[in-house]
Amino acid sequence: MALEGLDNDKLKLIIFGGKGGVGKTSCAIASALAMAENYKTLLISTDPAHSLADCLEQPIGFHEVLIVGAPGLTAIEVVAEEALSVFKKAHSSELKKLFDTSTNFDTDDINELMSLSLPGIDEIMSFKTIIDFIEEGRYEKYIVDTAPTGHALRLIASPKLLDQWIKVAARMRWKYRYIISSFAGSYTEDEVDAFLLGLKKTVKRIENLLSNKERCEFIPVCIPESMAITESVRLLADLKTSGVIAHQLIVNNVMTSEDSDFCRKRKAGQLPYLLQVKEVFPGFNKVEVPMFPTEIKGLETLNQLKNYLFKKIAVNS
């Protein structure tokens, strides 16, 4: 089988995830190469240990870079700390005013609080970067390469976490609003209220996008090995709880050769797991990709992988 439906014009966001080392980055790039043939495509890495540049053999960073040899494809590696520092700079006055009006903190306390790293903030900033790109609308497809399972799940859960923070901030503001309106008789919304409302709208937009079957798809990548399959089952269960749709799965590193005793043993060893994949993911479009004789690096092997994923080559050829 081949990956299906990615060329649907409505589908904007395609996220690749799975256990460490199973081929997420390779498959994300290969799919981005396929999309770039017909769509203006942005390939985004949210993995703090970025590997797009190594795999594509050209420098990429936290800025859009055209991929040489792949017209229509641009890539970016998100650096969450940088995204956070840009965000803080852009909203420092609202953030300071929020703490100033809602707490007893002095300026030093507020500055210290704002320099703290909050759990989950990296994923929130990564997702905010993605949604900002999508809303700018300069590309037609956005392909996301994630770090291993836990990170991808935190990424998906990040709007909920941001929503919880907004609720706490809104509660803090409520007391301030109450005091002002008691003394002044009325309360006029200020830039902090507008800022919180803006964040709330961002959360809603991300949640709507993630749960929209037509606009967003998650593609898990696994290999025919016990732990990778177990982790994919867990990943898909957690995605379902978050309302994110997945209906196809890549099974990478399938041994096809029988040229040596080693190959025959690996192939026989994989067989029960290939059957298990069929059993535990019923109804899924399962795309098998053979184990290549070399690592997947550079456009030549990436294009070969693309041909397997989009079935310009059959798996046993």
Ligand X SMILES: Nc1ncnc2c1ncn2[C@@H]1O[C@H](COP(=O)(O)OP(=O)(O)OP(=O)(O)O)[C@@H](O)[C@H]1O
The residues binding ligand X (CB under 6 A) are 20-26, 47, 51, 148, 252-253, 289, 291-292, 295-297
Q: Considering only 23-31, 54-62, 117-125, 246-254, which stretch makes contact with Mg ion by CB under 5 A?
A: 23-31
Nearest partner of 221 among 247, 249, 257, 195, judged by Cα: 249
CB neighbour list of residue 272: distance below 8 Å, 6 or more residues apart: none
Q: Considering only 21-29, 116-124, 210-218, 250-258, which stretch makes contact with Mg ion by CB under 5 A?
A: 21-29
Which residues from 31-60 bind Mg ion, rule CB under 5 A? Answer: 51
CB burial string 2-34: b at 16+ within 10 A, e below: bbeebeeeebbbbbbbbbeebbbbbbbbbbbbb
The nearest distance, CB 301 to ligand X, in angstroms, is 8
The nearest distance, CB 236 to ligand X, in angstroms, is 16
Q: Hey, how many other C-beta atoms are within 10 angstroms of the C-beta on 180?
A: 15
- Please say which residue, 12 or 19, places its beta carbon nearer to Mg ion: 19
Near Mg ion by CB under 5 A: residue from 16, 18, 25, 305:
25
The nearest distance, CB 78 to Mg ion, in angstroms, is 13
Residue 23 interacts with, from Mg ion, ligand X, none (CB under 5-8 Å by kind): ligand X
The residues facing 73 across adjacent strands are 41
The residues facing 248 across adjacent strands are 285
Torsion angle in degrees (nearest 10) through CA of 306, 6, 236, 252: -10
Residue 21 interacts with, from ligand X, Mg ion, none (CB under 5-8 Å by kind): ligand X
The nearest distance, CB 225 to ligand X, in angstroms, is 13
Asked if residues 210 and 160 have their Cβ atoms less than 8 Å apart, the reply is no
The nearest distance, CB 291 to ligand X, in angstroms, is 4
Question: Nearest to Mg ion by Cβ — which residue?
Answer: 25
∠ CA 35-71-129, nearest 5°, is 65
